[in-house]
Structure 1
Amino acid sequence: MQLHAPTALRRPADAMALMSTDDFTPRERAPQWCEWLWKHFGGLHSDLYGDTDFDGHLSSAKAGDVILTRLEANRHRVVRTMDMVRASGEGYLKIVAPMRGSAGVEQDGRQAWVRPGAWTIYDTTGSYAVANPERVEHLIVMVPKAQLAEHGLRLESLMARPVGGATGIARVALTTMRSTFEELPNMSSDAAQGAGELITQLVRLSLIELAGQHTQLTQREALKDRIRGYVALHLRDPKLSADQIATALNCSKRHLYNAFADEPHSLASYIQHLRLDACLRALQQDGGTARPITDIAMHWGFNNLSHFSRVFRERTGQSPSEFRHASGN
């Protein structure tokens, strides 16, 4: 692809770079748009979902080291491969914040879809794809990666994840990015520099908060896996309880309950559910060597037969003997 500055590029006194396909014939618009995106974003392959009619408008300016771009266009997709990455210069973290329509960002096996009021972020030093399946209006913000990688913030797991924007620091960051873009023509260079530094700091704080949420989720899932493993090993123990599990795993009962807060079963009902599953299988599989129902219940940790019969009927609508008979054993 031969690259040259599009004839529609203009730089007025406010230093805002403007491009509009309105300045081209219909046949020229799609090729010029693809060339502009390649040039402006440092190497991107574009396609238009096979459409032949296209129009797009793009305006861009800098706030210090931060590049802000407003993009309005028909549906289109962009892809950045590792070959394109190797041929590019400085690395950025790129934010897409829809004002109309939606965007789907895919990177490192993760995919994040965002609509107006939210934003997501991805790394231009790795391959990625962005889908815009409808007409869109986006604010795209590019922050030098080196400035966000400071202070030991691990960025890899935060890319291509919805950051938010409805509440908290992510909303403050989104509002600041939007207002900065709108007011850049009215700012001095020093003020623009300060606005860019503020955006960088707010994005960093948003990612730190997102990392904390991710860490808490990861820790909770890890504890849940440990709980499930312990329960599986001790399911037959009639003394299995939250106290016993907490002692064995060296954590508080509150942490046990929190680990199961988003599950359909509490910890106690999870244990009971597994025990009933085991009893159901035993009653179905005993065949001609059927064991007494009492033995099966006791074997799987039930030490109260009336309780076992009650929860069994609640689960199946039948008594254990009725269930065994219906199963042909």
Structure 2
Amino acid sequence: MPNSQILSTDDLASTERALAWEHWMSGLFGGLDSDLYGDSVFDGHIATSHAGDVVMTRLEANRHRVMRSPGLARTSDMSYLKIIAPWQGNAALEQQGRQTWVRPGGWAIYDTTGSYEVANPERSLHLIVMLPREQLTERGLRIDALMGRLVGGSSGISRVALETMRSIFQELPLMTPEAARGAGDLVIDLVRLSLQELAGRTTATTQQEALKDRIRDFIGQHLRDPDLSLDRIAQVLNCSKRHLHNAFADEEDTLGHYILRRRLQACMRDLKNPVHLPRTITDIAFSWGFNNGTHFSRVFREHAGLSPSEFRRAALLKEEVIPAPLPIPGRMHWKQKNQL
């Protein structure tokens, strides 16, 4: 049987689950920050197997977010492309200023050598697939413009790839190591073909994605400007506000909420960073385009599950705690077998 690992919070005390989950996310996926939207009740289950060089994980958990900061990306020695393919629940993936919602029946891809965020705002069941980056790029495939995108899954080669990934994960326990390696190579080939097809599309859909990229780039460059508005974006990009709204019509977020969420994410990063400890919360909020402290506190709590001061205190306290290794010596509370 291919190397496998099973982790579960079932046998952990409720007070230990959040910390254990954070350790597992960081250890299994090469350095990630995570939070639980401020929830005090949580349960999660992870089952990971190897198909040759491909790592496949079934992840089921209550709502949570994972974040890879630029600093973590720079210090990690991992070099994978990562796929998220929900069985249940939606996920919001963001990388390089792009954001896409991934729903059951679809899959999206991102690069672990760069920063990213994946938000799971509801209980979810996902297949996570990690593929060696160099094996996808060795034939000259240019992937930068493809990262943080929905690849597909409803038709064509992307659907074949999705169904194959799911089938292989289900059958891995019955495969020999040699068969598992061959299955992993098949996944790499199908993902490469899916990315090549995505790169070669010139349809109305990709034209809309190009407009989204222009909108997101402009927002990223002017996120700190409190006067950033839909009127200004439309004027600079020489299009109507109707076109702006239409570009985001297939997203869970409206364009206005997208701007708000990116500002909140930037504030969260600064509040977690000890370098910014001398700065007040109001100063950080206003530096990212907010101009009303009461409004900021309200929308921050809605987004993070904690007030700004509670979030900062919890994040800085976490920085003082030395993370326990996987597993915690002498504390075999979770189910585990055949270490990765």
Q: Which residue of 2 aligns with 1:66?
A: 54
Q: Which has the higher contact order (CA 8 A, sep 6+)?
A: 2
Q: Which residue of 1 aligns with 2:44?
A: 56
1:162 pairs, out of 146, 150, 154, with 150
- Code of the residue aligned with 1:174 in structure 2: it is L
Any idea what SS the aligned residue of 2:201 has? helix
The whole-number CA distance in structure 1 between the counterparts of 2:2 and 2:14 is 29
Q: Which residue of 1 aligns with 2:160?
A: 172
Any idea what SS the aligned residue of 1:113 has? strand
2:76 pairs, out of 51, 71, 88, with 88
- Unpaired runs of 5+ residues, structure 1, are 1-12, 223-262, 264-329
Alignment of 1:1-329 (within 5 A): 15-213=3-201, 217=206
- Unpaired runs of 5+ residues, structure 2, are 212-242, 244-340
How big is the shift at 1:23? 1.7
Q: Residue 15 of structure 1 contacts residue 185 of structure 1 at CA under 8 Å; is this kept in 2?
A: no
Change (3 A) 1:22 1:214: farther
The whole-number CA distance in structure 1 between the counterparts of 2:170 and 2:60 is 15
Moved segments of 4+, more than 4 Å: 214-219
Q: Which residue of 1 aligns with 2:261?
A: none
How big is the shift at 1:85? 1.3
How big is the shift at 1:152? 1.3
Change (3 A) 1:155 1:214: farther
Q: Structure 1 length as normaliser, TM-score?
A: 0.62
Q: Structure 2 length as normaliser, TM-score?
A: 0.60
The whole-number CA distance in structure 2 between the counterparts of 1:85 and 1:114 is 23
1:89-117 per-residue CA deviation (whole Å, 9 max, x = no partner) reads 13100000000001110000100101110
Q: Percent identity?
A: 59
How big is the shift at 1:86? 2.0
Q: Residue 101 of structure 1 contacts residue 137 of structure 1 at CA under 8 Å; is this kept in 2?
A: yes
Change (3 A) 1:193 1:14: closer
The whole-number CA distance in structure 2 between the counterparts of 1:39 and 1:150 is 27
Any idea what SS the aligned residue of 1:70 has? strand
1:50-98 per-residue CA deviation (whole Å, 9 max, x = no partner) reads 1010000000010000000000000000100121112211310000000
1:114-146 per-residue CA deviation (whole Å, 9 max, x = no partner) reads 111000000000000000000000000000110
The whole-number CA distance in structure 2 between the counterparts of 1:40 and 1:86 is 17
- Code of the residue aligned with 1:54 in structure 2: it is F
How many residues of Structure 1 are paired with residues of Structure 2 in the alignment? 211
Any idea what SS the aligned residue of 1:151 has? coil
Q: Residue 66 of structure 1 contacts residue 141 of structure 1 at CA under 8 Å; is this kept in 2?
A: yes
